[in-house]
Structure 1
């Protein structure tokens, strides 16, 4: 469990940091649009930095989404099963799909990024940026996803052994009913 907690903490910190990249991307997008339409000026570099920031958010925050159990799944079907069966389905998904696919992407992503770094690859767009930081996000993001997948597997195995409560990996998001109740409560206070 110490390894699992360390991985969770790492991905939580990365996600908190990457949240600022989303804010930066939105601001750059807004400023770029204002400048483009009001002054009829723009640069491919501004567009590319937005893409890089969105790529960073997606690739580096996805492990945190997995940790919070907020990824896409078919709860309508699995919700009918016992918690133990749901955990077994999760483990099957991690070991048969998530970890192998992330491993393949990591295997091919490392050389993909290294070639770009070694060649100091530049964008083919006029005024574009260097490309390797964006390509480096692929192996880094999938390495973090593998780590988080292992962390989630550890937690579920410990649950099956009776050493961990399901709340350690249960969905952290509020249900729609809880969100509605919170909105109603906030409106009563105002």
Structure 2
């Protein structure tokens, strides 16, 4: 493989590894918010009106930023009727072909994410709840997560092509 492709794969894998490891801790932040909300409601008798919505935002960030890391570790769910019985080279060829459809889908999704994020920033979009938080922060995170997933898919595609050619990237 060309050195630029190998460098791209290594840098994208390193970036998504770090982002994924940080995103794992968002689960604990979400748990702390929900625990504080429950304690406030049961002990003080005062509900926290922003807790549920904030935990939804954190959960969204958790799976959007962790998606590329899960892809990197090959932890996504796969229907494995025949795939597991194929040789590594044939699996790589099949993955290289099917990943192109996912890349196309994510390109369309990224376009929508950028448009939606731009709208939220320009017009100061807020959620229609009692708390009414601005939506641009979660939309930026959403778009960044889609972009990182797209980069990881391209990295995976390059690795699959290398395996199919019989020269895997170490």
CA distance in structure 2 between the partners assigned to 1:138 and 1:77 by the alignment: 34
Q: Which residue does 2:61 correspond to in 1?
A: 56
SS of the residue 2:25 aligns to: helix
Listed as ranges, the gaps of 5+ residues in structure 2 are: 1-5
- Pair 1:153 & 2:157 matched: yes
Contact conserved, 2:89 with 2:166, CA < 8 A, in 1? no
Summarize deviations over 1:77-121 as a string: whole Å, max 9, x none. Answer: 21111111111111112112x101101110111010111011222
CA distance in structure 2 between the partners assigned to 1:104 and 1:123 by the alignment: 24
- Moved >3 Å (runs of 4+): none
Contact conserved, 1:63 with 1:145, CA < 8 A, in 2? yes
CA distance in structure 2 between the partners assigned to 1:77 and 1:37 by the alignment: 52
Root-mean-square deviation (CA), in Å?
A: 1.4
Q: TM-score, normalised by structure 1?
A: 0.82
Between the two proteins, the alignment pairs up a number of residues equal to 165
Contact conserved, 1:43 with 1:127, CA < 8 A, in 2? no
- Pair 1:164 & 2:168 matched: yes
Contact conserved, 1:48 with 1:128, CA < 8 A, in 2? no
SS of the residue 2:23 aligns to: helix
Listed as ranges, the gaps of 5+ residues in structure 1 are: 169-190
Alignment equivalent of 2:98, drawn from 93, 100, 106: 93
Q: TM-score, normalised by structure 2?
A: 0.91
Contact conserved, 1:122 with 1:130, CA < 8 A, in 2? yes
- Pair 1:123 & 2:119 matched: no
